[in-house]
Amino acid sequence: MGKPTGFMEFDRLDKKEVDIKERIKNFNDFHIPFDIETQINQASRCMNCGIPFCQSAMTINSRKVGCPLSNLIPETNDLIYLGLFHEAYKRLEKTAPFPEFTGNVCPALCEACCTCSINGKAVGVKANELFLIEEAFKNGWIKPNTNIKRNGKKVAIVGSGPSGLSCAKALNNAGFDVTIYEKNDRIGGLLMYGIPNMKLEKHIIDRRVNLLKEEGIKFITNTKVGKDISMDELVKNYDEIVFACGTSKARPLVCNGSDAKGVLYAVDFLRETTKNLLDKTDFTYNLKDKNVIIVGGGDTANDCCGTAARENAKSITEIEITDEPPLENTVPWPNYPNKKKTDYGVAEANYLKGSDIRIYNTTIDEVVAKDGKVVGVYTKKVKFEKGRFVDIPNTRNYLDCDYLIIAMGFLGTSEEDANSYNMTMNRNRFNLNKFSYNDKISICGDMKNGQSLVVVALKDGIDCANEIIKKYNV
């Protein structure tokens, strides 16, 4: 079994990428897949560890370690090495509902704790996963499951993000009659209208949604539960209601002038850009030749940088409230590394500027507007003291700004939305004991756990479905 010396013979390779200069001319995926021989060699690096941390799905110090889906990583790697791609795919599909999503966007928690990474480089598990699912589609191994024995129970799922979709798939396979309600015009949640096209091309989502439709799941778009259809109606028509609405309430920027035109929330900006691309319409927010400032230093801010670069912004600056992360990792294996990373979008903006666009220990003090439209911002330096950020006096600095994009994270569900579901909130979380229709309602994904990852949302959707299946003993 396997190739015991693969990790000594072959270095880990990362997929080649289209040059920044070229790739920012469009919104296409810029990763170049391996050829088959390279893919097999990469898979052969897996040591088939006795204790495979990669698939452990543990939580250490409140952080996820290993694949939350517990994908059978050593087995699939080995089967790829042996050239048994179909068998490898059969292992993958046992636990991974949509490997084409995770294979593109997962931060690969599995790789962070791979044993090979203790004193070398991790096995490229994510690339293996994407290779397998694309082989499966190419070779027609994925067929809609239309031979499902129905159990007569009806479930409404509110929200079509990864948690709603994985929950729907599991319930549908178990015989439930599933209808997904989505307020947007397209299915996919943040996969569709958050994560930009260059990270996940949208035809990949449509391909899977078409399969789910063929399997019997019904999708109702442009319908907001609580507004276009009432809770009473849902309760009357369905045996179970699953809320998978994500986190709609963005953390606001609180300072003078923050209500000026041109101050945008990141998800609104990213959603409009993807919608413009798919609808082939002009950009709603046209960043061409504009000075763009992005507040926040996480993955969402990075996606905004990449999007602004593709819209030919004149300048892109990222303002981060925290310290600059260390250049070398400070946490021991198997934790997810803590070090400064430069993801694709920031790398592109750095390339355009010719230096690092990130300014640390800084926040916005005031938005300056002219005729109601942002023209600049005053920033200020801050430091973290006794559990909070405090201002450093006399550090105000003026920057020209035409668009200020807020990417400061999310605070959960808005009170307004919660009220429309007849739910009560407690410090941004739902109070489970006070649901009006307690016995019929479940919550999953980011709506339950707060802002997280696609892979976590997928697992939570499956867990939620399993609870319902257990309840009806089907």
Ligand X SMILES: Cc1cc2nc3c(=O)[nH]c(=O)nc-3n(C[C@H](O)[C@H](O)[C@H](O)COP(=O)(O)OP(=O)(O)OC[C@H]3O[C@@H](n4cnc5c(N)ncnc54)[C@H](O)[C@@H]3O)c2cc1C
Show the tokens assigned to 382.
């801050």
Query: Is 270 a residue that touches ligand SF4 (CB under 6 A)?
Result: no
Contacting ligand X (CB under 6 A), which of 212, 245, 287, 292?
245
Measured in whole angstroms, how far is the alpha carbon of residue 296 from the centre of its chain? 16
Among the listed residues 97, 189, 257, 306, the single contact to ligand X using CB under 6 A: 189
Q: Which stretch binds ligand X (CB under 6 A): 61-69, 309-317, 387-395, 439-447?
A: 439-447
Virtual CA dihedral for 203, 73, 447, 253, nearest 10 degrees?
-80
Range in contact with ligand SF4 (rule: CB under 6 A) among 102-110, 348-356, 358-366, 439-447: 102-110
First-last CA distance in the chain: 38
Q: Answer whether 398's CB lies under 8 Å from 378's CB.
A: yes
- 377 lies in the site for ligand X, by CB under 6 A: no
Q: Out of 24, 40, 69, 405, name the contact with ligand SF4 by CB under 6 A.
A: 69
Q: Rounded CA gap, 74 and 374, in Å?
A: 53
Q: How far is the CB of 29 from ligand X (least distance, A)?
A: 13
C-alpha dist (Å) from residue 410 to 4, 187, 355, 450: 45, 21, 29, 8
**CB of 339 vs ligand SF4, minimal distance in Å:** 19
Nearer to ligand X (CB atom), residue 47 or residue 130: 130
Residue 49, binding choice from ligand X, ligand SF4, none, Cβ under 5 to 8 Å by partner class: ligand SF4
Among 24, 72, 88, 114, which residue sits at the site for ligand SF4 (rule: CB under 6 A)?
Answer: 114
Residue 86 vs 227, nearer CB to ligand X: 227
Candidates 155, 212, 270, 469; binder of ligand X (CB under 6 A) is 270
User: Per-residue string for binding with ligand SF4, 125-154, x by CB under 6 A?
Assistant: xx--x-------------------------
Question: Which residue in the set 71, 160, 362, 363 belongs to the binding site for ligand X (CB under 6 A)?
Answer: 160
Confirm or reject binding of residue 76 to ligand X (CB under 6 A). no
State the number of binding residues for ligand SF4 (CB under 6 A): 26
Determine which residue in the list 24, 40, 43, 46 makes contact with ligand SF4, applying CB under 6 A: 46
- Residue among 39, 41, 44, 115 that touches ligand SF4 (CB under 6 A): 115
Write the burial class of residue 316 (CB in 10 Å: 0-12 exposed, 13-18 middle, 19+ buried): buried
194: left (phi over 0), alpha (psi -120 to 50) or beta: alpha
Q: Which is nearer to ligand SF4, 122 or 346 (CB)?
A: 122
The C-alpha atoms of residue 418 and residue 356 are separated, in whole angstroms, by: 41
Instruction: Work out the angle at residue 417's Cα, subtended by the Cα atoms of residues 414 and 422, and round it to the nearest 5 degrees.
Output: 125
123 touches, from ligand X, ligand SF4, none (C-beta below 5 to 8 Å by class): ligand SF4
- Could you tell which of ligand SF4, ligand X, none binds residue 296, using a CB distance below 5 to 8 A set by kind? none
Closer to ligand X by CB, 41 or 302: give it: 302
> What strand order describes the sheet that includes 154-158?
218-220, 177-181, 154-158, 240-243, 441-443
Structure tokens at 3: 């190739």
Q: Which residues bind ligand X (CB under 6 A)?
A: 105-107, 158-164, 181-184, 189-191, 194-195, 199, 224-226, 244-246, 248, 267, 270, 299-300, 303, 445-447, 452-455, 457
Q: Which residues bind ligand SF4 (CB under 6 A)?
A: 46-49, 52-54, 67, 69, 71, 73-74, 77, 102, 106, 108-110, 114-116, 123, 125-126, 129, 455
